[in-house]
Amino acid sequence: MNDKLLMTSVFIGGVMIINIVGAIVLRPVRRCWSLMDAPMPVGYQQIIERNLAVWKYLPEKQRRLLAGRVNVFLSEKTFEACGGATVDEEVKVTVAAAACVLLLGRRNIWCYPSLRNILIYPESYVAPEPQVIGDHLVVEDDDDPLDGSCESGNIILGRRQVLDECRNVSGSNVVFHEFAHQLDVETGLGNGRFAALSSRKYMSCYQTFCRNVRRGDPDVLDEYGAEDPAEFFAVSTEAFFSIPAELRTQHPDLYQILKRYYHIDPVTWFLTV
Ligand SMILES: [Zn+2]
């Protein structure tokens, strides 16, 4: 084989390998984009209109984005019924829609890539009391994961709590809460600090809030946020997407931190209605 023929063969082989690798790598990306552009089934939209209170405040562009993300979410995640719960389209679409509200400002198409399953219990899920043995935190019942979060690739939710809280804009929303933890784990260390762009400012907001709780001062945030910075992030996320004006009034610095993190300004949604 002469040199020219050898070079041509190497070139063609190289191009073929690049094409094959490209196709494998790009296939999920293309699939995501086509799902993002696909219309949502009419039945799904009716469920969202019925169950996701924030939907009626969303601008048209955000509704289209949310519909696309719901398509991606439902194609990638599996739902599992636990404890006799009913897992139907009603709860699946509601969870998907509320979870994807947190992604509305993000430019990338990834949809909680390390999450695989959502486990649905009938009411609200209460984690078994953990025990500390040596340096390890363990759970009494080996069949149950530690809590509603996500390090194992699962999120645990209660059907009734999901439907009740998603239908209201009260400041409490278990789906916003658990998926904030999921983002915290995926984009940071799961401790609320990196996710909130770390920073002294975030910790200063947390400490101010803890002081309010200790004094018994009224606060728009649930006092459970005082547990630790990760819970503070999850509780703040609930308020950020459901009662943003109240959050911005009482915790303006925290609101700005969350606005930068989520790349979105939910106060504007509520102003336009
Ligand atoms: Zn939590």
Q: Are strands 117-121 and 130-133 parallel, antiparallel or unpaired?
A: unpaired
Distance 222 CA to ligand 1 centre (A): 11
Distance 231 CA to ligand 1 centre (A): 5
Q: Where in the chain is the domain with CATH 1.10.472.150?
A: 32-168
Q: Is the domain 32-168 a CATH 1.10.472.150 member?
A: yes
Q: Where in the chain is the domain with CATH 3.40.390.10?
A: 188-273
Residue 272: predicted pLDDT: 63
Distance 2 CA to ligand 1 centre (A): 67
Distance 178 CA to ligand 1 centre (A): 6
Distance 56 CA to ligand 1 centre (A): 27
pTM score above 0.95: no
Distance 70 CA to ligand 1 centre (A): 23
Return all residues near 211 (Cβ < 8 A) that are at least 6 apart: none
Distance 177 CA to ligand 1 centre (A): 6
Residue 69: predicted pLDDT: 94
Cα–Cα distance for residue pair 67/196, rounded to 1 Å:
26
Distance 224 CA to ligand 1 centre (A): 8
What does each of the 273 residues of the chain score in pLDDT, given as a tens digit? 677 777 777 777 777 776 666 666 667 777 777 777 778 888 999 999 999 999 999 999 999 999 999 999 999 999 999 999 999 999 999 999 999 999 999 888 789 999 999 999 998 665 555 444 334 333 334 344 434 555 568 999 999 999 999 999 888 999 999 999 999 888 876 666 665 556 788 899 999 999 999 999 999 999 999 999 999 999 999 999 999 999 999 999 999 999 999 999 999 988 765
Distance 233 CA to ligand 1 centre (A): 9
Residue 22: predicted pLDDT: 64
CATH superfamily of 188-273: Collagenase (Catalytic Domain) (3.40.390.10)
Contact 109, 72 (CB under 8 A): yes
Distance 223 CA to ligand 1 centre (A): 12
Contact 230, 184 (CB under 8 A): yes
Residue 152: predicted pLDDT: 64
